[in-house]
Amino acid sequence: MKIGGCETVPHNLERICQYIDHTLLKPEATAVQVVQLCKEARQYGFASVCVNPCHIPLVARELKATGIRTCSVVGFPLGAHRTEIKAAEAALAVEDGADEIDMVLDIGALKDGRGNQVSEDIKAVIRAVAGRALVKVIIECSLLTAAEKVTACRLAVGEGADFVKTSTGFGHGGATVEDVRLMRSTVGPDIGVKASGGIRDLETLLQMIDAGASRIGSSSGVAIARELENKK
């Protein structure tokens, strides 16, 4: 399976799990819950564990030498932080052990038509972790028009992002098949597309992969894996 880009829809448990970023971003998440998240990731072989920055050192220790990646969010969930803060947050997350960064772009600047500011925001984060971590740019599709989604994807790719991502999961809506298709058609076959938000069952996950998603962000990874196990 590719880290980014297109892939045919998988049908076995191991390959399905390799698509999933096992996610816990609730503000009330405890260390005990994060350790359990990592245990589940090891059990099922998920692609990564995605948590808030304060939990990155713990996750990096729990996943050491497993091949499962440690993912931190940056500028989350609003994207309204100053660019310097996003860049510093990303750099610190990598120093703490993050392999992947999911950053929220400056949504207001995008809607204002300030593309240069959006680009500089993305560029600063990518430069802060260059060569050390993948960067996924969250465009928060539910707040954007179709034209704005296309613009956001093009700006992210133009600055060297590894992935574009549909949603934070904290907005007005999550991933849709239509958005994933639009994003895939915009970025082409070699950039990752991460579908995130509201993906709670196997059918929805497979629809997203069929539409062009190469990574799935979900807090329901275990439920999805068990659903597939029960189909054997």
Please list the active-site residues: 102, 165, 194
C-alpha 213/C-alpha 161 separation (Å) is 15
C-alpha 196/C-alpha 208 separation (Å) is 9
**No. of helices (H) and no. of strands (E), the chain:** 10, 8
SS3 content of the chain, % helix, strand, coil (to 5): 50, 15, 35
DSSP 208: H
Q: Is 116 left (phi over 0), alpha (psi -120 to 50) or beta?
A: alpha
* CA-based nearest residue to 110, from 156, 62, 51, 69: 156
Per DSSP, the three-state class of 195 is strand
Task: Say which residue the tokens 């799935």 belong to.
Answer: 216
Cβ atoms of residues 1 and 46 within 8 Å = no
C-alpha 216/C-alpha 32 separation (Å) is 24
C-alpha 34/C-alpha 47 separation (Å) is 16
Q: Structure tokens of 208?
A: 């997203």
